[in-house]
Protein backbone atom coordinates (compact mmCIF):
# COMPACT_ATOMS: atom_id res chain seq x y z
CA UNK A 1 0.00 0.00 0.00
CA UNK A 2 1.16 3.48 -0.64
CA UNK A 3 2.14 5.91 2.05
CA UNK A 4 -0.65 7.26 4.23
CA UNK A 5 -0.91 11.04 3.65
CA UNK A 6 0.03 12.94 6.80
CA UNK A 7 -2.28 15.81 5.83
CA UNK A 8 -5.36 13.62 6.35
CA UNK A 9 -6.51 14.00 9.96
CA UNK A 10 -9.20 11.66 11.24
CA UNK A 11 -11.59 13.16 13.80
CA UNK A 12 -13.03 11.57 16.97
CA UNK A 13 -14.64 8.14 16.32
CA UNK A 14 -13.87 8.13 12.59
CA UNK A 15 -11.57 5.64 10.88
CA UNK A 16 -9.70 6.00 7.58
CA UNK A 17 -10.00 2.82 5.50
CA UNK A 18 -8.05 1.69 2.45
CA UNK A 19 -10.79 -0.40 0.82
CA UNK A 20 -10.09 -3.75 -0.79
CA UNK A 21 -11.28 -4.32 -4.34
CA UNK A 22 -12.24 -7.91 -3.68
CA UNK A 23 -15.00 -9.40 -1.58
CA UNK A 24 -12.79 -12.22 -0.29
CA UNK A 25 -10.35 -11.79 2.58
CA UNK A 26 -6.73 -12.92 2.62
CA UNK A 27 -7.78 -15.65 5.05
CA UNK A 28 -10.25 -17.01 2.50
CA UNK A 29 -13.48 -15.76 4.07
CA UNK A 30 -15.98 -15.24 1.27
CA UNK A 31 -18.25 -12.24 1.81
CA UNK A 32 -21.78 -12.71 0.48
CA UNK A 33 -23.17 -10.05 -1.88
CA UNK A 34 -25.27 -8.71 0.99
CA UNK A 35 -26.41 -9.90 4.36
CA UNK A 36 -29.77 -8.33 3.56
CA UNK A 37 -31.10 -7.22 0.21
CA UNK A 38 -30.39 -3.55 0.88
CA UNK A 39 -27.17 -3.92 2.89
CA UNK A 40 -23.80 -4.12 1.18
CA UNK A 41 -20.74 -5.10 3.17
CA UNK A 42 -17.28 -3.82 2.21
CA UNK A 43 -13.87 -4.53 3.67
CA UNK A 44 -10.50 -2.91 3.92
CA UNK A 45 -7.52 -2.07 6.10
CA UNK A 46 -7.48 0.52 8.88
CA UNK A 47 -5.00 3.23 7.84
CA UNK A 48 -5.70 5.92 10.48
CA UNK A 49 -7.71 6.02 13.67
CA UNK A 50 -9.33 9.05 15.29
CA UNK A 51 -8.75 9.94 18.93
CA UNK A 52 -11.94 8.21 20.08
CA UNK A 53 -15.16 9.27 21.71
CA UNK A 54 -14.84 12.63 23.52
CA UNK A 55 -15.75 12.28 27.17
CA UNK A 56 -15.86 16.00 27.84
CA UNK A 57 -13.77 18.33 29.94
CA UNK A 58 -13.96 18.84 33.68
CA UNK A 59 -14.63 22.41 34.74
CA UNK A 60 -15.32 21.71 38.41
CA UNK A 61 -12.51 24.03 39.55
CA UNK A 62 -13.33 26.81 37.09
CA UNK A 63 -15.41 29.85 38.01
CA UNK A 64 -16.36 30.83 34.41
CA UNK A 65 -15.56 27.86 32.16
CA UNK A 66 -17.41 29.38 29.18
CA UNK A 67 -14.80 32.17 29.00
CA UNK A 68 -11.93 29.73 28.45
CA UNK A 69 -10.19 29.58 25.09
CA UNK A 70 -11.63 26.42 23.40
CA UNK A 71 -8.18 25.47 22.07
CA UNK A 72 -6.77 25.30 25.62
CA UNK A 73 -9.45 22.96 27.00
CA UNK A 74 -8.13 19.44 27.63
CA UNK A 75 -10.66 16.76 26.68
CA UNK A 76 -10.37 13.08 27.54
CA UNK A 77 -11.16 10.46 24.90
CA UNK A 78 -12.29 6.85 25.11
CA UNK A 79 -10.09 5.07 22.51
CA UNK A 80 -11.55 3.05 19.66
CA UNK A 81 -11.39 -0.74 19.53
CA UNK A 82 -9.83 -0.99 16.09
CA UNK A 83 -6.11 -0.62 15.60
CA UNK A 84 -3.92 0.41 12.69
CA UNK A 85 -3.53 -2.43 10.21
CA UNK A 86 -6.72 -4.27 11.24
CA UNK A 87 -8.77 -5.76 8.42
CA UNK A 88 -12.40 -4.71 8.91
CA UNK A 89 -15.83 -5.51 7.46
CA UNK A 90 -18.17 -2.52 7.43
CA UNK A 91 -21.55 -1.35 6.16
CA UNK A 92 -21.12 0.46 2.84
CA UNK A 93 -23.87 3.05 3.37
CA UNK A 94 -22.04 4.42 6.44
CA UNK A 95 -18.86 5.09 4.43
CA UNK A 96 -17.86 8.43 2.93
CA UNK A 97 -15.63 7.80 -0.09
CA UNK A 98 -13.06 10.24 -1.45
CA UNK A 99 -9.94 10.24 -3.60
CA UNK A 100 -6.66 11.78 -2.50
CA UNK A 101 -3.58 11.70 -4.76
CA UNK A 102 -5.42 9.25 -7.06
CA UNK A 103 -5.96 6.78 -4.20
CA UNK A 104 -9.46 5.77 -3.08
CA UNK A 105 -10.10 6.13 0.68
CA UNK A 106 -13.16 5.74 2.89
CA UNK A 107 -13.98 7.28 6.26
CA UNK A 108 -16.37 5.38 8.50
CA UNK A 109 -17.59 5.71 12.08
CA UNK A 110 -16.58 2.90 14.40
CA UNK A 111 -20.23 1.88 14.76
CA UNK A 112 -20.33 0.82 11.08
CA UNK A 113 -17.76 -1.95 11.66
CA UNK A 114 -19.24 -5.44 11.84
CA UNK A 115 -16.09 -7.52 12.40
CA UNK A 116 -12.31 -7.18 12.70
CA UNK A 117 -9.53 -9.55 11.68
CA UNK A 118 -6.38 -8.73 13.62
CA UNK A 119 -3.10 -10.47 12.97
CA UNK A 120 -0.72 -11.09 15.83
CA UNK A 121 1.96 -8.38 15.76
CA UNK A 122 5.44 -9.37 14.62
CA UNK A 123 7.81 -7.42 16.89
CA UNK A 124 10.65 -7.76 14.35
CA UNK A 125 8.61 -6.23 11.51
CA UNK A 126 6.53 -3.56 13.26
CA UNK A 127 5.60 -0.79 10.84
CA UNK A 128 2.47 0.45 12.55
CA UNK A 129 2.31 3.43 14.90
CA UNK A 130 0.85 3.31 18.38
CA UNK A 131 -2.89 2.80 18.77
CA UNK A 132 -4.69 6.06 18.14
CA UNK A 133 -1.61 8.08 17.10
CA UNK A 134 -3.30 9.04 13.85
CA UNK A 135 -1.48 7.02 11.24
CA UNK A 136 1.19 4.74 9.87
CA UNK A 137 4.10 5.36 7.55
CA UNK A 138 4.07 2.33 5.27
CA UNK A 139 2.26 -0.95 5.59
CA UNK A 140 -0.71 -3.12 5.01
Q: What is the CATH number of the domain that holds 110?
A: 2.30.33.40
Q: Which domain holds residue 87?
A: 14-50+82-125
pLDDT of residue 61: 63
Within a domain: residue 6? no
pLDDT of residue 82: 93
Within a domain: residue 26? yes
Within a domain: residue 95? yes
How far is residue 19's CA from residue 110's CA, in Å, rounded to a whole number?
Answer: 15
DSSP string, 42-72: EEEEEEEE---EEEE---TT-S-GGGS-GGG
Within a domain: residue 92? yes
pLDDT of residue 124: 62
Mean pLDDT of the chain: 76
When divided into structural domains, the chain yields a total of 1
The per-residue pLDDT for range 40-68, each reduced to its tens digit, is 889 999 999 999 988 877 666 667 666 66
What's CA 118's distance to the chain center, in Å?
14
The per-residue pLDDT for range 14-38, each reduced to its tens digit, is 999 998 875 554 556 665 555 444 5
Within a domain: residue 136? no
Within a domain: residue 7? no
The per-residue pLDDT for range 75-98, each reduced to its tens digit, is 788 999 999 999 999 999 999 999
Within a domain: residue 115? yes
Percent of all residues in the chain with a pLDDT value above 90, rounded to a whole number: 31
Within a domain: residue 118? yes
Residue 101 pLDDT class (50, 70, 90 cuts): confident
Residue 71 pLDDT class (50, 70, 90 cuts): low
pLDDT of residue 133: 45
Amino acid sequence: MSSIPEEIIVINDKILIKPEDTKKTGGGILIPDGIQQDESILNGYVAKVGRGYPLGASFADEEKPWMKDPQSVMVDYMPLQVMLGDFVFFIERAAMEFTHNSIKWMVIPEGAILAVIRKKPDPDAMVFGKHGDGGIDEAI
